[in-house]
């Protein structure tokens, strides 16, 4: 496996902590805001549903577990093993500890992918950032 063109993503503990913290913060804000009881209940229900949906996406095989490039074609590999070709690939954010990608493909496949530094080894994360930086150049 060429680590420059194929990257295996592992579940990120940082990503899990960010999801938990974001949902907890929203819950606390909903409890502190002066809202009517029914509205507060509805918003808390939506928050719980959003949290459940986010965790389900991580566990049912739709979670992206790999990126690869063959020639000029990029692919994403889901946790269930399905490999999908990427038709459009955008780098939304390229930072030192976080990379956010937008990928879409045939059949309406669209995914925003947040890759934290602990989802890859140190060297693989650095190589991915270099590849993405080069891909951004005209």
pLDDT digits (tens, 9 = 90+) for 1-59: 344 477 777 777 777 777 778 778 877 877 777 877 777 778 878 878 877 777 666 55
E strands within 79-134?
Answer: 83-86, 88-94, 98-104, 110-116
- What CA–CA distance (Å, rounded) separates 104 from 85? 8
Predicted local confidence at residue 2, as pLDDT: 44
Q: What is the mean pLDDT of the chain?
A: 77
Full-model pTM: 0.66
Nearest alpha-carbon partner for 49 in 38, 61, 59, 41: 41
Nearest alpha-carbon partner for 113 in 21, 24, 13, 12: 12
∠ Cα 129 132 136 (to 5°): 135
Give 115's strand partners: 99
Predicted local confidence at residue 134, as pLDDT: 79
Three-class secondary structure of residue 65 per DSSP: strand
Q: In degrees rounded to 5, what are phi and psi of residue 13?
A: -65, -35
Nearest alpha-carbon partner for 111 in 63, 49, 56: 63
- What CA–CA distance (Å, rounded) separates 129 from 67? 13
Strand 110-116 vs strand 73-78: parallel, antiparallel, or unpaired?
A: unpaired
């Amino acid at each position: 496996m060429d680590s420059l063109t194929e990257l295996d993503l592992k579940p990120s503990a940082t990503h899990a902590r960010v999801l938990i913290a974001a949902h907890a913060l929203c819950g606390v804000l909903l409890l502190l805001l002066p809202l009517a009881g029914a509205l507060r209940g509805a918003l808390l229900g939506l928050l719980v549903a959003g949290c459940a949906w986010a965790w389900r996406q991580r566990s049912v095989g739709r979670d992206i577990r790999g990126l690869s490039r063959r020639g000029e074609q990029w692919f994403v590999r889901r946790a269930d093993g399905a490999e999908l070709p990427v038709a459009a690939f955008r780098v939304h954010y390229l930072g030192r500890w976080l990379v956010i990608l937008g990928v879409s493909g045939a059949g309406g496949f669209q995914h925003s992918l947040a890759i934290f530094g602990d989802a890859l080894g140190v060297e693989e994360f650095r190589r991915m950032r270099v590849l993405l930086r080069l891909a951004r150049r005209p």
